[in-house]
Structure 1
Amino acid sequence: MPQPALTFFGGAGTVTGSKYLVEAGGSRVLVDCGLFQGLAKLRRRNWAPMPHELADLDAVVITHAHLDHCGYLPVLVRAGWHGPVYVTHGSAGLVPIVLRDSAHLMTAEAAHANTYGWSKHRPALPLYDENDAAKAIRLLKPIGFGDVTAVAPGVRLEFGRAGHILGSAWAHLRVADGRGIVFSGDLGRPAHGVLRPPQPRPACDALVLESTYGGRVHDDASALATFAEVIRRTAARGGSVLIPAFAVDRTEVVLAALKKLTDRRAIPELPVFVDSPMALAALRVYRTAMNQRWPEIRTDLGDGDPLDPGHLVELRTTEESMRVNDPIMPSIILSASGMATGGRVLHHLEHMLPDDRHTVLIVGYAAAGTRARSLANGTREIKIHGRYVPVRAEVAQIDAFSAHADAGELVRWACAGEPPGAIHLVHGEPESAEELASRLRAERPGIPVSIARDRERVLI
C-alpha cells in the first residue's frame, strides 16, 4: 500500500486559500477548501482551472467557517462535485451564512462593475452565485467534537475544540495503516472573550500548524487600554470610530470588549451600530450557543447579554446603513468585511476617510494586498469602487481582538504532550512562518519542522 501523502494547494506562503489534500490507501480527503484573498495575484488563483487532483475527492473536512477555509466550496460544487462536507455543529450554523453572503457580494459587485464600467472584464461575472452556494450548503454533514467518524474508506476523522471562532476545530485524520495527521486549523487563544481555549492535540505522525502570528506576541492588557483611548479621543473631537470587523466572531469579541469597557466606565456611552447582515446572522448563532450553553462557550461570561454594550443598534436595511455613513454624533460602527475587501464597510470608508474627526480602527489580521493592510501601512489614498478616496481620518491598529494564537501559544500547543513526528507550517506569511519554525526547532530540536511550499507533496 502506498505511503500516505499530503499536498498543499493553498495556505502555503500565504494566510489564505487553505486546501490540504490527504491521500491514503486510495482515498482522497481535502482538509479545508478556502478562497484566496488579498493580493491580486492570489485572488486570480480562485479563477484558475481547478487542480485535477481535486476533481475526484471522497470527502471535504472544514475546520471552521471563515471564507479562507470554506469559501471555495461552491466552486468545487459548480465543477460537479457532490460531497460530503464534514463540519462541526457550530460550523454547520455559520458556513451557510458565510457562503450565502460571499455569493451575494460577488454577484452584487459584478453587477455594480457592469453598471459603472470599472472592471476590465466585459461583462464582469461572479466566481459563483447563490445557487452554487445553496448546493454546497446541502452537502454539510455536522459531527460532534470528540466523535470518531469514517469519512472515506480507511480514513477516520475526529474534531477537537480550536477556540478560534464558534465551531472551529482542529482535525485529526487517522488512516488505515495507523498513521495520524492533525490539522490545527486556525487556533484560538485562552484570552478569547467568548470561547473556551483550544483542547490539547492528540499524538500524531504529522502536525499541520498555522503560523499567522508566528512572529508576534499579543499584549492583551495594553491593547485593550489602547482601544479605550482611541474611542475616548475620537469622541472628544466629535468623531466616530469605524471598525472593519469580520462578521463571524470578531464582531462578537469586539462587542464583548465594549461591554466590559462600558461597564467599567472606561469609555463614554456611545451608540454602537452593527452594520452587516452577515454579522447579525452570526450574532444570532452565537446567542443561541450562549443561551443553550454549548460546550465551546466560556462559563464566566456573567449575567445579562455579554454582547450588548448598552446602546446596541442593529442595522438591517441598506437605507439604515446609509444613514450612518455620515454620523451626526460620536458613535462606534462595526461593519464587514474585516479586511475591507468588500461589503458595507466600503461605503462607510468612502464617506468617513476624508474627515479628520473620525478614526478607522483595524482590530484584526490584515493580509497583504487588502485595503485594511494599506490603511494600517499609512496610505494617504485608497481605491474604492474604482476611484481614489483621500485618507484624512486617523487610522489605528491594535491586536486586542485577534482570534489567532500568538507565537508562544502556538509553540506551547504544538509541543505539549507526545511530540509529533514532523511539523509542517502553513497559513502564514514567510517571515511569520520562518520565525515560528525557529522557535519550534529551539523548543524541540528533535522534531523536523518544514515550511510548506505551494503544490508541495510530502509523505506521512
Structure 2
Amino acid sequence: MRLRFLGGAETVTGSRFLVQAGRRRVLVDCGLFQGFKHLRERNWLPFPLPPRLLDAVVLTHAHLDHSGYVPVLVRDGLKARVHTTAATRDLCRLLLPDSGKLQEEEAAYANRKGYSKHKPARPLYTEAQARRALRAFRGHPFDRRIEVARDIFVTFRVAGHILGAAIVELEVDGHRIVFSGDLGRPHDPIMPAPANIERADVLLLESTYGNRKHLSEARDLGRLARAIRETEAKGGTVVIPAFAVGRAQGLLYRLHRLTAEGRIPRLPVYLDSPMATSATELYLKYPALHRLSPAECEVVFGQVEFVRAAEDSKALSADRRPKIIVSASGMATGGRVLHHIRAFGPDPNSAIVFAGYQAAGTRGAKMVAGATSVKIHGAFVPIRARVLRLDSFSAHADADEILEWVGRFGHRPRRTFIVHGEPEAADALRHRLEAEAGLERVQVAVWRDVVPLGRQ
C-alpha cells in the first residue's frame, strides 16, 4: 500500500492524497492550488494517472482547496463516485459552478483587457463542466461506515470548521488512515468541536496554524468594534472579505452580537455574494450540524441585506454612505470583493478587515503585510484604507488545539504526516507533536512524494 502526496504538502492549498492498495486507488480530497502563481500553475499540470483508474474520490469538505479540482478529473475521464457528507455535497453544488463561472469571467476579462500572457486566456474549467461533475457526488451521513471501493471503507466524523466538514477514517487491508481535513475549533460559537478519534495507524494532520496560537476572540471583537465605529465616524465603508461558506456566516453572527450589545452603530450590513446567500440558507436545512437554533438563525440572518444581482453589487461600490460589506472571496483571490476593494481600497476613511487565514501570495496576504497597492484585473489599485487582520475568528484549530485533539486519541497514531501548512508551520507542529504529544515517526509531507505504508 502506498500514499502519494499530490497536493496539500509544503503549502496550505491543493489538498490531494492518493491511497493505492494493489490495483485499488482512492483519492482523498481533490482541491485547487491557490496563492502564488507557481502554485496556481500546478492546477494545469496533467494528473499523474488517467482519472478513469480511480476507484473513488472522497472529500473532507467543500472549500475549493479541497474540492475545486473535481471538475477537471470528471472532464478528463473520472468515472468513480465522489463521496462526501450530505451538507458538503449541497455546498459543492454552490461552490463548483460558481468557481467555473468565475474562471470563465476572469478569462473573458483578461481577453478583453489583453493582460493575460496566454492567447487566448481560458478557464481551467467552465460552469457547465462543473455542473456535470456534480452528477458524480454521493452524500452520506456522519458516523456511518460505507464501502467506497472493493474492501475500502470510509467513515465521516465531525470536524467542525464549516458545515458538513469531516474527518475521514479510511480502512483498507486492516489499516486505518485518518485524514484530519481542516480541523475546527473546540469553542467555535457556531460549529461543533471536532470529534474524538479512537484509533489511527496513519494520521494526515493539517497544520495551517501549526506555529501559532489564536488571540482571544474577546480582544478581536473589541478591535473589530473599534474599527467599525471609527470608520463610521469618518463616513467610510467597512469591507470584510470572507469565504462564502463558514466564515461569512460566522461574521454575520458576530456583527449581530456587536450590534445587539450596542458596541457598534446600527449600520446596513450587506452580504454581497449569491453563493454565500445560498450557503446561509443551508444552515436552516441542517440545524443538527451547528450550534445555532432555527430561531437564532432567523434573527442573525434576518437583519442582513442579501445582494444577488450584479447591478446591486455595483451600486454598493458606488454608494459612499457608511456601511458594512461582507463579500467573497476571503483571501481576495476573486469574486465581488475585488470590486469593493477597488472602490474603497484607495479611500483612507474606509477599512478592509481580514478575518481569517491569508495564504502566501494572495492579495489578502499582501495587504495584511502592508502592501500599498495590489493588482486587480490587470491594474494596480492603491491601498490607503485601514487594513486590519483578525486571527481569532479563524475556523481552523491553532497549534494548541491541534495538540489537544491528537491527545484525545484512544490509541496514538503509529505514523503521522504533517500536511496543509506552510513549511515553517508544519515543521513547528512536527516538533511539538514529538516533544509534547510523544508521537513517533512524524514527518512533514513533501509534494509528489510516494510513501510505502505496509505494516505499521
TM range (shorter): over 0.9
> What amino acid maps onto 1:203 in structure 2?
R
2:186 pairs with 1:193: no
Out of 397, 400, 404, which is 1:408 matched to? Answer: 400
Match of 1:442 in 2: 435
Give me the whole-angstrom Cα distance separating, in 2, the residues matched to 1:407 and 1:423.
Answer: 15
Deviation at 1:131, TM superposition (A): 2.0
**3-state SS, counterpart of residue 318 of structure 2:** coil
Out of 409, 422, 425, which is 2:415 matched to? Answer: 422
Change in 2 beyond 3 A, CA 1:302/1:221: farther
> Where does the alignment leave 5 or more consecutive residues of structure 2 unmatched?
none
List structure 1 segments (4+ residues) > 3 angstroms apart after TM superposition.
299-304
Identity %: 47
Deviation at 1:162, TM superposition (A): 0.2
Contact 2:403–2:437 under 8 Å retained in 1: no
1:69-115 C-alpha deviation (Å, 9 max, x unpaired) = 00000000111112200000110110111101000000111111111
2:122 pairs with 1:125: yes
Match of 1:305 in 2: 298
Give me the whole-angstrom Cα distance separating, in 2, the residues matched to 1:455 and 1:424.
Answer: 14
1:194-217 C-alpha deviation (Å, 9 max, x unpaired) = 211111123010000000000111
Deviation at 1:309, TM superposition (A): 7.2
TM alignment of 1:203-222, pairs within 5 A: 203-219=199-215, 220-222=217-219
Deviation at 1:26, TM superposition (A): 2.4
Match of 1:50 in 2: 47
1:137-187 C-alpha deviation (Å, 9 max, x unpaired) = 0000111111101111121000000001000000000112x1100000000
Deviation at 1:359, TM superposition (A): 0.2
Deviation at 1:53, TM superposition (A): 6.7
Deviation at 1:259, TM superposition (A): 1.0
2:336 pairs with 1:340: no
> What amino acid maps onto 2:309 in structure 1?
T
RMSD: 1.4
Contact 1:25–1:154 under 8 Å retained in 2: no
2:282 pairs with 1:281: no
Match of 1:271 in 2: 268
**3-state SS, counterpart of residue 298 of structure 2:** coil
Deviation at 1:400, TM superposition (A): 2.9
Change in 2 beyond 3 A, CA 1:306/1:452: farther
**3-state SS, counterpart of residue 251 of structure 2:** helix
Q: TM-score, normalised by structure 1?
A: 0.95
1:114-137 C-alpha deviation (Å, 9 max, x unpaired) = 112111111111100122111210
Contact 1:14–1:430 under 8 Å retained in 2: yes
> What amino acid maps onto 1:280 in structure 2?
T
Match of 2:320 in 1: 328
Match of 1:19 in 2: 16
Q: TM-score, normalised by structure 2?
A: 0.96
1:36-79 C-alpha deviation (Å, 9 max, x unpaired) = 00000000010112212755100000000000000000000111
Give me the whole-angstrom Cα distance separating, in 2, the residues matched to 1:280 and 1:433.
Answer: 34
> What amino acid maps onto 1:235 in structure 2?
E
Contact 2:237–2:320 under 8 Å retained in 1: no
> What amino acid maps onto 1:39 in structure 2?
F
> Where does the alignment leave 5 or more consecutive residues of structure 1 unmatched?
none
**How many matched pairs?**
451
Out of 344, 347, 353, which is 1:355 matched to? Answer: 347
Greater shift, 63-72 or 210-219, is seen at 210-219
**3-state SS, counterpart of residue 253 of structure 1:** helix
Match of 1:385 in 2: 377
